[in-house]
Amino acid sequence: MLTGKYQILHKRLKNIIPKNRLFYDDLSLLAFGTDASFYRVLPKFIIRANTESEVRLILSSCSELGLPVTFRSAGTSLSGQTLSESVLVMLDQGWKEIEILNKGEQIRLQTGVVGSDANKRLLALNKRIGPDPASINSAMIGGIVGNNAGGMGCGTVEDSYGTLAGIRLIFADGSLLDTLDPKSRQAFEVSHKNLLDDIVQLRDSVRKNKTLLKRITDKYRIKNTTGYTLKALIDFDDPIDIIQHLVVGSEGTLAFISEVTFNTVHEFTNKATAFMVFPDIENACRAVAMLKKTPVDSVELMDRAALRSVEDKSGMPSYLKTLSEGATALLVETRHDNADELARQVETVLRALESFSLLVPAEFTTNTQEQENFWSVRNGLFPSVSANRKAGTTVIIEDIAFDISKLADATLDLQSLFLKHDYTDAIIFGHALEGNLHFVIKQDFNRQEEVKRYKAFVDDLVHMVVDKYDGSLKAEHGTGRNMAPFVAYEWGQDAYKVMKQIKSCFDQDNILNPGVLINDDPEIHLKNLKPLPVAHPLVDTCIECGFCEVHCVANQLTLSPRQRIVVYREIQRLIRSGESAFLLDQLRAGFAYLGDETCATDGLCSLGCPVDIETADLIKWIREESASFRTVKFAQALANHMDRLTALARFGLNVVHLFHFLLGSALLGGIARGIRVLSGNRIPLWNKAMPRGGKKIKSAPQPENGKPGIVYFPSCINRSMGASRYDADSRTLTEVTMSLLRKAGYHIILPDNLDNLCCGMAFASKGFKEIGDQKANELNASLLKATNQGELPVLCDMSPCLYRMKKTLDPELNLYEPIEFTLIYLAKRLKFEKKMHTIAIHPVCSAKKMGLEEKLRTLAEMCAEQVVVPDNNCCGFAGDRGFTYPELNAHGLRHLKAQLPEACTAGYSTSRTCEIGLSYHSGITYQSILYLVDACTVGID
């Protein structure tokens, strides 16, 4: 319930912002209010804003009402800077515009663009954005700039500050400034004269104070995101230039960033990589100092504990296990467009290291696979520690920097601190070239003595970093609430005073993200610690980083995987504590639809998850737990009579098809919607892309002497469903597949008892795991027999079924879905012709998880002049959920139609049910890729 000023704010906004973007119920506040940090502060009111005018209204209203506001983009921050106890403004689905400028020299990005999406657009021009946080596949421009985030290579030159060309800002009073628009600058100079005068005064006072000037210059010789970016007062003369650079790294405390124009950086086409192991940290750090003078682009350091954390993982170099105590690795990479020049760079680097004795010799490779293997050691460190912690505890990843001349001593001191405070399994790694170390500790915040231990450790750390080395307490992750108490200690009182003045120049009433970056509470870093209650072994290792969100079709419709886990954890905590029956009921009731029913269970979330969680597994488990005895019996009866079920489906679909023919799409659509409403959304929704019934496969084809055999397993879906009324090719997929196999000269073998076979996915995804296993076992036995114990390959015509089969059936079976099967078995026996002009393809989730996206494109390009791959996640059809929860499908494909060029006449995929939704939402028809292959090939005699 909203009260007081929040109620007034709601009243002002509700006529402008639709109510499905205004949240104040307990479930939403908890789910959306959580970020990747180890703090929990919940907002009272959440608004998903979609336009600048909405943000301007929100800010001017909040200013007037004195309500604090926090901005959030992807919420992957680690220091507690996207939390709010008042109003949280999240980005809705807008804010995604990208514009390449000056042939790629610059790029204009709206605040909601994910960093890696910007880079995808720049790749063809051999360009990328400068900032390169490890979270770039999730982090959005607003947060990347807001934190001045960095990574392995950007250092202090190519970060947001160093590459900023212009910015559009909205200030606390709702006013807008576009620093690239002369008119906007002029108007701002008039409307905000006082602000500009204050900035000029600050600039001049800092420059006059020689001690402070030197302090600021010295501090930015290394990476630093503690406090405000004071160097803006020195680097720029014009107050508007100073403002735009002060906003970088200001963590939402000075203004809202609407869009940013970056100067891009060159992306080299060739790289050479080496994994070097030194006997001890001193030698490794001395080597880093040498490498700094050579043409290297990144040097990642890993201490012995870090290497130990991954040495048992598959694919790791075997020598890791045999390394002596103290051994330290450097992963070194050098890049150039020209291969000869690259070779010369490698020589220079090796020469620089000649005097070092190494445990593993420095050998550079340009082989992509070997390079990936090296990087997998580095990239596996954080996930490995996170995954191996005790349930109910958290991991803390910290981020400090030193001058590289002090790196060895600082690392040894850090290792001693771990011992002193008993963080025995802490690991250290980091961007050594910049003196930037990350360390990861496992931390239990459930017990007071553990909180005390953390406090003592942080106190010692602060003294070590600041007093002994004059380093940075935050190099790239931002100050947040976590280091706010130590900003003055690190910078000194003069600099801190300037920071406070900056804050009050921009935000006199302190409404923008108060408590973040500047905070007078010396213990704020120990307050509001997030509980991570034990919930379920399938998700207990979740660190709530949010990397899953960009992969989830339900994200921004209902709940993302992170948000599902957050709510599920709280439900479990409430069940155990018995704290609030009312809240528990509310969360459970909300979770049923938001968490369970609208989960597509496609498992794509696991693609982004650093600890390999597939939230879908939790949802399937919940479905299994909640299935009643009666529904289990019903499902079992269906599973035992698949032949009758598929026959019934064929009959039913044909009847509906007849009505479609008689009544037309509009009338039948209207009737279907009416019936669904009357049934309380229990009756599935018909749509005009719904297929007619398939054709029963009558008997196995006769053996054909001399022809190689292929076992064809038509999925139960394709045995039930045929083409739809609007499909270009009205044959069923089973007919097309058989024709194709014959054309390629194969003898087709159908497994015994085909009518009753099913991979079991339809059951398992609804929580009937045992029934799913039963169907998988039956299929396994039948396929082993048909293939003569795995001698012959098996083609299944649906990627999702094949993906499940690969996970559940005997590894002896050689299982293929249409894409790989065509490329391996059909391509060599058929002649391809590019008969199509422009087509679209949709890699379904299972194909993505099997790494088949590029292969699908390759295959489509063998058949068409132009292949379009619209940018979509899972389509949201999710088996039959497209009929029962059509909103999920509509949300998943909301951008599809706009992405298809007019010339695009047909779409292709590898899942019949997904194709129904794709056809319905695209305006063209989607069929299996096998239709395309059949249309574009002739047999080779």
Length of the chain: 941
Sheet with 87-91, strands from edge to edge, namely: 22-23, 45-49, 87-91, 69-72
Tokens of 1: 């319930």
Task: Establish if 147 lies at the interface with ligand FAD (CB under 6 A).
Answer: yes
Our CA dihedral for 442, 219, 436, 158, rounded to 10 degrees, sits at 130
Choices 56-64, 132-140, 694-702, 761-769 (CB under 6 A): range interacting with ligand FAD: 132-140
Task: Establish if 129 lies at the interface with ligand FAD (CB under 6 A).
Answer: no
Is the distance from CB of 618 to CB of 565 less than 8 angstroms? Answer: yes
Task: Establish if 163 lies at the interface with ligand FAD (CB under 6 A).
Answer: no
CB nearer ligand FAD, residue 61 or residue 81:
81
Site string for ligand FAD, 712-751 (x = CB under 6 A): ----------------------------------------
Task: Establish if 888 lies at the interface with ligand FAD (CB under 6 A).
Answer: no
Choices 99-107, 143-151, 574-582, 712-720 (CB under 6 A): range interacting with ligand FAD: 143-151
Q: Residue 298 has what DSSP assignment?
A: E
Among candidate residues 144, 142, 81, 145, the one with its CA nearest the CA of residue 515: 81
Residue that is written with structure tokens 């994910």 in the block: 114
Q: Which of 139, 164, 291, 805 binds ligand FAD (CB under 6 A)?
A: 139
Is the distance from CB of 234 to CB of 216 less than 8 angstroms? Answer: yes
Q: Which of 28, 61, 63, 81 binds ligand FAD (CB under 6 A)?
A: 81
CB nearer ligand FAD, residue 370 or residue 509:
509
Choices 139-147, 313-321, 868-876, 896-904 (CB under 6 A): range interacting with ligand FAD: 139-147
Kindly state the smallest distance separating residue 8's Cβ from ligand FAD, in Å.
24
3 state SS of 663 = helix
Cα separation, 546 vs 556, whole angstroms: 13
Kindly state the smallest distance separating residue 411's Cβ from ligand FAD, in Å.
18
Task: Establish if 76 lies at the interface with ligand FAD (CB under 6 A).
Answer: yes
Q: Determine the residue type at 435.
A: G
Cα separation, 358 vs 328, whole angstroms: 10
Kindly state the smallest distance separating residue 799's Cβ from ligand FAD, in Å.
30
Residue 489 φ/ψ, nearest 5 degrees? -65, -45
Kindly state the smallest distance separating residue 312's Cβ from ligand FAD, in Å.
21
Size of residue set near ligand FAD by CB under 6 A:
38
CB nearer ligand FAD, residue 140 or residue 622:
140
Tokens of 503: 């804050």
CB nearer ligand FAD, residue 135 or residue 558:
135
Choices 136-144, 230-238, 341-349, 627-635 (CB under 6 A): range interacting with ligand FAD: 136-144
Kindly state the smallest distance separating residue 92's Cβ from ligand FAD, in Å.
12
CB nearer ligand FAD, residue 260 or residue 353:
260
Choices 23-31, 76-84, 495-503, 865-873 (CB under 6 A): range interacting with ligand FAD: 76-84
Within a 13 Å sphere around the CA of 134, how many CA atoms are in the beta-carbon half? 22
Segments of 208-348 assigned E as strands: 256-263, 265-266, 270-278, 298-302, 328-336
Site string for ligand FAD, 680-719 (x = CB under 6 A): ----------------------------------------
CB nearer ligand FAD, residue 330 or residue 762:
330
Tokens of 194: 């006082």
Site string for ligand FAD, 559-598 (x = CB under 6 A): ----------------------------------------
Count CB-CB contacts under 10 A for residue 726: 13
- Cβ contacts of residue 201 below 8 Å, gap of 6+? none
Task: Establish if 109 lies at the interface with ligand FAD (CB under 6 A).
Answer: no
Task: Establish if 149 lies at the interface with ligand FAD (CB under 6 A).
Answer: yes
What radius of gyration, in Å, describes the C-alpha atoms of the chain?
A: 30
Among candidate residues 5, 91, 6, 89, the one with its CA nearest the CA of residue 44: 6
Kindly state the smallest distance separating residue 515's Cβ from ligand FAD, in Å.
11
CB nearer ligand FAD, residue 552 or residue 740:
552
Residue 331 φ/ψ, nearest 5 degrees? -100, 115
Kindly state the smallest distance separating residue 180's Cβ from ligand FAD, in Å.
17
Among candidate residues 255, 247, 204, the one with its CA nearest the CA of residue 229: 247
Count CB-CB contacts under 10 A for residue 15: 7
Site string for ligand FAD, 522-551 (x = CB under 6 A): -----------------------x------
Task: Establish if 387 lies at the interface with ligand FAD (CB under 6 A).
Answer: no
Cα separation, 227 vs 220, whole angstroms: 12
Max Cα distance, the chain (Å) = 94
Which helix (H) or strand (E) covers residue 455, if one does? Answer: helix 448-462
Kindly state the smallest distance separating residue 563's Cβ from ligand FAD, in Å.
14
Count CB-CB contacts under 10 A for residue 19: 9
Q: Which of 133, 515, 684, 917 binds ligand FAD (CB under 6 A)?
A: 133
Kindly state the smallest distance separating residue 25's Cβ from ligand FAD, in Å.
22
Task: Establish if 256 lies at the interface with ligand FAD (CB under 6 A).
Answer: yes
Cα separation, 427 vs 389, whole angstroms: 13
Task: Establish if 140 lies at the interface with ligand FAD (CB under 6 A).
Answer: yes
Residue that is written with structure tokens 């020049």 in the block: 341
Site string for ligand FAD, 406-445 (x = CB under 6 A): ----------------------------------------
Q: Which of 33, 43, 75, 691 binds ligand FAD (CB under 6 A)?
A: 75
Residue 91's alpha-carbon distances to 46, 59, 88, 477, in angstroms, are 10, 14, 10, 20
Choices 128-136, 202-210, 325-333, 441-449 (CB under 6 A): range interacting with ligand FAD: 128-136
Buried b (16+ CB within 10 A) or exposed e, 573-605: bbeeeeeeeeebeebeebbeebbbbbbbbbbbb
Q: Which of 77, 244, 782, 873 binds ligand FAD (CB under 6 A)?
A: 77
Residue 341 φ/ψ, nearest 5 degrees? -65, -40
Cα separation, 584 vs 261, whole angstroms: 46
Is the distance from CB of 202 to CB of 505 less than 8 angstroms? Answer: yes
Cα separation, 915 vs 882, whole angstroms: 11
Instruction: Map the footprint of ligand FAD across residues 15-74, applying CB under 6 A.
Output: 35-36, 70-74
CA 802 to chain centre: 25
CB nearer ligand FAD, residue 74 or residue 483:
74
Kindly state the smallest distance separating residue 383's Cβ from ligand FAD, in Å.
8
Choices 12-20, 140-148, 346-354, 417-425 (CB under 6 A): range interacting with ligand FAD: 140-148
- Can you spell out the DSSP letters for 128-144? E-S---TTTTT-BHHHH
Site string for ligand FAD, 448-487 (x = CB under 6 A): ----------------------------xxx---------
Our CA dihedral for 604, 605, 608, 612, rounded to 10 degrees, sits at -100
Cα separation, 915 vs 396, whole angstroms: 43
Choices 4-12, 138-146, 355-363, 530-538 (CB under 6 A): range interacting with ligand FAD: 138-146
CB nearer ligand FAD, residue 159 or residue 820:
159
Task: Establish if 239 lies at the interface with ligand FAD (CB under 6 A).
Answer: no
> Which residue's CB atom is positioned nearest to ligand FAD?
143
- Which residues would be at the binding site for ligand FAD (CB under 6 A)? 35-36, 70-78, 81-82, 111, 133-135, 139-140, 142-144, 146-147, 149-151, 251-252, 256-257, 382, 476-478, 513, 545, 610
